[in-house]
Structure 1
Amino acid sequence: MAMMMMMGSSPCGFENVTRQRFQAAAHVRPPPLLHLLRRCSSPEDLSRIHALVVKIGGPPHLTSHLLKAAVEVESATLRLPSSLFARISRPDISAFNVMVRGYAQSESPLEALLLYSTMLETSVVPDRHTFLFIIKACGRLNLLQEAMAVHGHVVKAGFSCDVFVLTALIHAYAIVGRLESARQLFDQMPERDVVSWNALISGYCRGGRVGDARKLFDEMPVQKTLASWNAIIAGYVQNELYRKALMVLNDMQCKKVKMDVVTVISALSACASLGALTIGEWLHKYVARIFKCHVISWNPVSGQLIGEELQERMSRAKTLTEGHDKRLALGNALISMYSKCGHINKALLVFEAMPVKNVISWTSIIDGCALHGEGRRALNLFNRMKKTVVIPNAVTYVAVLRACSHSGLVNEGMLYFDEMLTEYGIEPQVEHYGCMVDLFCRAGMLDAAYEFTMSMPVQPDVVTWRNLLCGCRTHGDHQLGRIVADHIMQRGLQEEEGLCVLISSIYAAGGRWEDAAYVRKKMKRCGIRKTPGCSSIEVDNMVHEFVKGDKSHPKTREIYDMIADMMKNLRYSENCSPNFFD
């Protein structure tokens, strides 16, 4: 009451005092409103602050800060930042950089290039930050010519010795596949920092030149950072050299380098592919100990909150968002690892314990259940998913159809295949059609599988033909198998290794020895060899890999003696099918 008397009886008194205090505070460094902008975490909060600025006014530089905050909180669509930018009559380099950066990191990096062109037309001179962002956009769009053009602008603008800009160019050239250009630029740099080395290492890994990446990694004259270790581990994983990835992880531990989320996710992927359960479980314990964080539920910021309370709530919201992302990525990696290592129940425990689940989480656990033959459980999970706010995507439906296939659920598979388009507007791709062919084949419905394949609106891929051939061989339908084999031969797909072996077996089983011999000769002529069978097992924290015919293992004699004893105990008969080992 006393306060109202001091300001007058009308609400205008409060507004005038607020405006005066705000304008006075605007000259204090840093202004209170800038604190709020830096901690702004949602478009709703930003809209309230924007409305306040429009209503009571503010210094000119506040628009630039407002633009930065808008890009931070609305990084996907950038509708509000675009609207704010359009209201600036003569945007300076700072305003352009904010928008170029936002677009370069958004879902529309092409807009960054268009804005860069506008910037040049208005005679605004680009600076280092402009080049960093626009080079990133070129890399994301895989645009070589544009990247080379920007490179020319960099030289003309006098940034040809700037380590940050040159590193960005190395990264962009590597992404678009110009590794030689990236290496040439790297060698010409007057000075290099650890980020430059990491950029080229990552580029080599992305281009499949892991040997060159490892050589560069070992030659680094500067102190390796965590990003350096992560780059080489991820490179080995991307190129399916999982054992080497875990060896680097071991070296990393010996050198007392602490892992982060990126390290753990790459290592879990390697464990999943190798079936290295013990190492995966150790990583799980490490995650629980190092990255442990509590689940805190929070509500959107109320319009009634002001001052320090609003600032604190915004800051906490931003921290929680980052924490959710971290837990999501780790949780998804753990689900995949346990599923592929044969422990679907542990994968389910991880899944159920996750406070937040995204489409990757649901898809991973559904696919895991599918691979373990638990089709009903997979479909129950899918039905649970549809009741949440998470929308299934095309990959989710591949997992669902695979679950139906592995469990013989033909009617359910047909239902979900139709549901994709009718309920979610997902156009079936070749992977979905392939799952349906596999579903029919596993159920013994070979005629339906063949008709489905021949009526597909997309060209069947190698996997689809292989599934059809396997179905014919498994169910002994050699006549249909020969028809399918002839189709494959006519389409020129027989040079794929797995198809060659299957076609030869189908022809041999049907008595078409000349055709079988022709396929075998073609395999030999084209240098196609049947990949030896391979299996792995983890014993005492070490993964042992066994390849058919390989005698390099130190305990080869004992292994083969054991195999001989096992074959005797199984009463192996030499009268087995000639295709038994294909």
Structure 2
Amino acid sequence: MLTAEVWSPLPLPRPPAHRQHLDPSATVTTSFPTLAHLRMRHARALRTHVHQPSFWNALARSYASHGAAPHLALGVCLHMPLRDAHTFPLAFKLCSLLSAFAEALSLHAHLVKLGLAATSVHSLNALVTLYSNFGHLDLARQLFDRIPRRIVSSWSAMIAGYDRNAQPREALFTFLGMLEAGVSPDEAALVSTLAACTHGGCLEFGKAIHACATVSGLGLESVGIATALVDLYAKCGEVDSAREVFERMVQRNVLSWSAMIGGLAMHGRAPEAIKLFDEMVEAGVRPTSVTMTNVLSACSHVGLVDQGLRLFNLMKEEYGIEPRVEHCGCVVDLLGRAGLFLEAREFISTMPTPATAAIWRSLLGAACTHGDLEAGRLAGERLAATGEEMVAGDYVMLANLYARLDLWEEVGRVRTEMNDVGVKRVAGFSSVEVDGELHRFVMGDRSHREAKRIHEALHLLNAELMDEESSSFH
């Protein structure tokens, strides 16, 4: 909840005579740009009972521009004497930023009370974003459907909301609805739609968006669109296409470099990823936490232990990045994959925060791969002690480790425990895009409309493979 800090007027000296009669709203963002000066202006406005919404809106925007003061900005929005249509868009954005859902509901009610809910499209757009950020997609969609004159940012907010809530299919349908409504997409809409294509594995749809962006004049000149394209092609398996887009970019930022490094790492091209990281540093681009996760992951995938440890040590020394749990997880994975279990355990013991279930799960997987019973048992015990519910895969890895070492009693114990706990295996699935439509297949599921023809084709393929195999013996 918000504190009363912002409402305690400070004992301030009287302003100079030549400024005593100035309109406070005229100088809030120009005469007093620092946070200390904004507090002074705020205190004076409280003492003199300023009522103009324009002043309070300007004060809230000024507070919001200071990274350390979003709570002060929201406090202004919540307690200003009068609000107008310009108050709510910023207020809703601040509620999203500060996870202030109760305050957002109160502001939404006031928006309706003022009769602005049907006319303030920018406020409604901000509300769509807010409700989707809090996971209330049904409310976001209801608001979106009630916007009388949707503009491109309205569509962008809804597309991004679906994507953030892991509903890429709905995001793509919304994009198509925008085109059918005759609204031309802007950069934000294209970036959000490309992100949905990436998360849904819809490569062909993404290529169509690429063409759409080019026709609209928003191609590789836009850093945001080009970076989204790099991410799309890399994560959908076309890493060479991602590299081509990256090389043709007019401008690059750290997100562009990070996306390309991550794409190379994902496809086992660690030397290229590390070389690109070095090029980024030489170009004067400072890596972020995400960049370091990607390059450490690259080292882990191909066993570059010394290189990975060197980069991990450089994080804080050279780049001022405090190692987070995901970075530590990469190092544990790196050491585990190399079979260096003693070093991995020593590293875990020196971590600044307790090891998470993901880290112990990584060590368990490595122990299973190398057949290290001691490390596997320790990882299994510590994994259970984290308090996070163990999933089916954890029990399966333990059982496989014991089976590999012919410890069948232990295998039976693990499987019995798995049944007693009531762990259920989550069915795996695969998906394929055909003619722009995404088809999903689950193990044993025959509900697909083309299931009969698909299985007939599979039987024919199996028969041909068996004939090929039998002929190879003659």
TM-score band w.r.t. shorter chain: 0.7 to 0.9
User: Are 1:373 and 1:406, in contact at CA under 8 Å, matched by a contact in 2?
Assistant: yes
Q: How far apart in 2 are the matches of 1:426 and 1:254?
A: 46
Q: Which residue of 2 aligns with 1:312?
A: none
Given the alignment, which residue of 453, 472, 475 partners 2:367?
Answer: 472
1:251-304 CA-partner distances (Å, limit 9, x unpaired) = 333333322222211211121123222211111111122134897xxxxxxxxx
Match of 2:113, SS state, is: coil
Whether 1:266 aligns to 2:227 is no
- Structure 1 516/228 Cα, relative in aligned 2: closer, same or farther at 3 Å? farther
The amino acid across from 2:212 in the alignment is Y
Task: Give the deviation of 1:202 after TM superposition.
Answer: 3.7
Q: Alpha carbons of 1:392 and 1:294: their partners in 2 closer, same or farther (altered >3 Å)?
A: closer
Residue 152 of structure 2 aligns with an amino acid whose one-letter code is: L
CA distance in 1 between counterparts of 2:95 and 2:140 reads: 23
Q: Cα RMSD (Å) of the superposition?
A: 4.0
The 1:528/1:565 distance shift into structure 2, 3 A limit, reads farther
Query: Partners in 1 of 2:186 and 2:437 — Cα distance?
Result: 23
C-alpha contact 2:220 2:248 (8 A) present in aligned 1: no
Question: What CA distance in whole angstroms lies between the structure 1 residues aligned with 2:161 and 2:232?
Answer: 18
**In 2, are the aligned partners of 1:336 and 1:368 still within 8 Å (CA)?**
yes
- Report the alpha carbon displacement of residue 434 of structure 1 after superposing the two structures with TM: 0.8
Summarize the Cα distance change of 1:134–1:568 in structure 2 as closer, same or farther, 3 Å threshold: closer
> Match of 2:134?
207
Q: Summarize the alignment of residues 166-177 of structure 1 with structure 2, pairs less than 5 Å apart.
A: none
Alignment counterpart, residue 140 of structure 1, candidates 97, 101, 119: 97
| Contact kept in structure 1, 2:92 and 2:127, CA below 8 Å | no
CA deviation map 1:473-517 (0-9, x unaligned): 222334532332233234444523432332343344445555545
1:367 and 2:367 are equivalent in the alignment = no
User: Does the CA contact (< 8 Å) of 2:92 and 2:126 recur in 1?
Assistant: no
Distance 2:36 2:386 in 1: 52
Contact 2:71 2:98 in 1 (8 A): yes
- Percent identity between the two aligned chains: 33
Task: Note the 1:73-92 alignment, pairs <5 A.
Answer: 78=34, 82=38
8 Å Cα contact 1:101/1:134 also seen in 2: no
Other-structure match for 1:245: 171
Deviations 1:31-52 (A, max 9, x none): xxxxxxxxxxxxxxxxxxxxxx
**Which position in structure 1 is the counterpart of 2:8?**
none
Gaps of 5+ in 1: 1-56, 168-190, 296-326, 572-582
Maintained 8 Å contact 1:469/1:484: yes
SS at match of 2:430: strand
Q: Deviations over 1:227-251 (max 9, x none)?
A: 4433332222112122222223233
Checking the alignment, whether the CA contact within 8 Å between 2:356 and 2:386 is kept in structure 1 is no
Once the two structures are superposed, residues 529-555 of structure 1 have per-residue CA deviations (whole angstroms, 9 ceiling, x without a partner) of: 222222222233332222211112233
- Once residues 115 and 277 of structure 1 are traced to their aligned partners in structure 2, the CA distance between those partners, rounded to angstroms, is 45
Partner of 1:254: 180
TM-score if structure 1 supplies the norm length?
0.65
Task: State which of 59, 66, 79 in structure 2 corresponds to 1:99.
Answer: 59
**425, 434, 453: which one aligns with 1:539:** 434
Aligned match of 1:439 = 334
Within 5 Å, give how 1:442-457 maps onto structure 2: 442-457=337-352
Partner of 1:128: 84
Aligned equivalent of 2:446: 551
397, 406, 409: which is aligned to 2:304? 409
1:426 has 2:321 as partner? yes
Which region of structure 1 is more displaced relative to structure 2, 493-502 or 349-358? 493-502
Q: Which residue of 1 aligns with 2:71?
A: 110
One-letter amino acid of the counterpart of residue 285, structure 2:
V
Asked if the contact 2:361–2:379 (Cα under 8 Å) also holds between the matched residues in 1, the reply is no
Pick closer, same or farther for the CA change 1:292–1:206 going to 2, 3 Å.
closer
In 1: Cα distance, 2:333 partner to 2:246 partner: 28
**Equivalents in 1 of 2:152, 2:184: separation in Å?**
8
Contact 1:538 1:544 (8 Å CA) reproduced: yes
CA–CA distance in structure 2, aligned partners of residues 544 and 204 of structure 1: 29
**What residue number does 2:231 align with?**
336
Letter of the 2:455 counterpart: Y
Closer/same/farther in 2, CA of residues 456 and 564 from structure 1, 3 Å limit: farther
Aligned-pair CA distance for 1:421? 1.3
Greater displacement, 482-491 / 402-411: 482-491
Cα 1:499–1:105, aligned 2, differ >3 Å: closer, same or farther? Answer: farther
AA at the equivalent of 1:142? S
Note if contact 2:363-2:375 (Cα within 8 Å) is conserved in structure 1: no
Q: Are positions 1:381 and 2:276 aligned together? A: yes
Cα contact 2:95–2:130 (8 A) shared by 1: no
Residue 17 of structure 1 corresponds to none
User: Does the C-alpha gap of structure 1 residues 256 and 192 become closer, same or farther in structure 2, counting only changes over 3 Å?
Assistant: closer
The equivalent position to 1:233 in structure 2, one of 159, 181, 186, is 159
CA gap of 1:110–1:83, structure 2 versus 1, over 3 A, is closer
Give the Cα–Cα distance (whole angstroms) in 1 for the partners of residues 166 and 326 of structure 2: 22
Seen in structure 2, the aligned counterparts of structure 1 residues 475 and 79 have a Cα distance that, compared at 3 Å, is same
Change (3 A) 1:385 1:546: same
Structure 2: gaps spanning 5 or more residues:
1-17, 467-474
Question: 1:226–1:115: structure 2 CA closer, same or farther, 3 Å change rule?
Answer: closer
Return the alpha-carbon distance in structure 2 between the equivalents of residues 377 and 142 of structure 1. 40
CA distance in 1, matches of 2:92, 2:168: 32
Aligned length: 444
TM-score by length of 2: 0.78
The residue number in structure 1 matching 2:114 is 162
Deviation string for 1:398-418 (max 9, x for gaps)?
A: 011011112221111011011
Deviation at 1:206, TM superposition (A): 2.5
1:280 maps onto 2:206 in alignment: yes
